[in-house]
Amino acid sequence: SLNCLDWSLLTPTSKEMLELAEQLKGRFQGYPSFEYNLADVNAEAAARLTEGGKEPVIKEEARLIATIEQIDRAVGVVPRGAFVKTPLGSVHENRYFEGLSLLEAKKLSSYFHFTEPVNLKNKTLLEKADLDPSTDFLDSLEHDIPRGSWSIQLEMGGTVVVLRSLLWLGLTFYHVPMTKQFGYIYFGTGEKNLDLPFML
């Protein structure tokens, strides 16, 4: 939205768009038509694009789309059990999910990345033996690198659990234990906190 009244959907992102956006550093300008010249940022990547017959330029709108995709992939969170995987491989919302208990909600292992698993495929058979294939089919937040990249807090007298990402500053996830209420929102600059390993 340009005026906070009229809203439209963003176009789907492409692999090329993600690669270009990862090269850019710094804050957004605030103009969707603003063009970033990759030659100013990474001359090597710009030369490869020019050789491939493409312009080393990316618009701010495309950068925004790619950044939203990066944030969703990196820190999109759901509580354990909110989604189930059927024996045929499809994933559905769990109609019987009634929320995590307060004890479980305080544990980082009770929350998963809502994206294609990466670490789960690297686990040994012994590690997978204790997992329930219908609910534990996503990567847990407790194995995120660097360790300590999530902050868990109890709010409103322990009735709301809040997770904050220290890697993407501005991302906040909430869950009300013993209810189906959960979600996340991002209010940030669109910059990844690359200094996090040195801050822990």
Residue with tokens 């009770």: 110
pLDDT band, very low/low/confident/very high, at 57 (cuts 50, 70, 90): confident
Per-residue pLDDT band at 141 (split at 50, 70, 90) = confident
Among candidate residues 51, 73, 95, the one where a domain is terminated: 73
User: Are 64 and 106 members of one domain?
Assistant: no
Are 132 and 166 members of one domain? yes
pLDDT of 136 over the 90 cut = no
On whether residue 115 sits in a domain, the answer given is: yes
Structure tokens at 154: 């109890």
45-56 pLDDT per residue, tens: 667 766 766 777
Q: Say yes or no: 53 and 122 in one domain.
A: no
The mean predicted confidence, pLDDT, of the chain is 83
Which of 30, 42, 34 lies closest to 58 in space, CA to CA? 34
Residue 1, pLDDT > 70, answer: yes
**96 and 24 housed in the same domain:** no
Q: Which domain holds residue 62?
A: 15-73
84 with 182, same domain? yes
Domain membership of residue 8 (yes or no) is no
137 and 181 co-located in one domain? yes
pLDDT in tens, 163-181: 999 998 999 999 999 999 9
How does pLDDT run across 93-111, given as a tens digit for each residue? 888 888 889 898 888 888 9
Per-residue pLDDT averaged across 147-161, rounded? Answer: 87
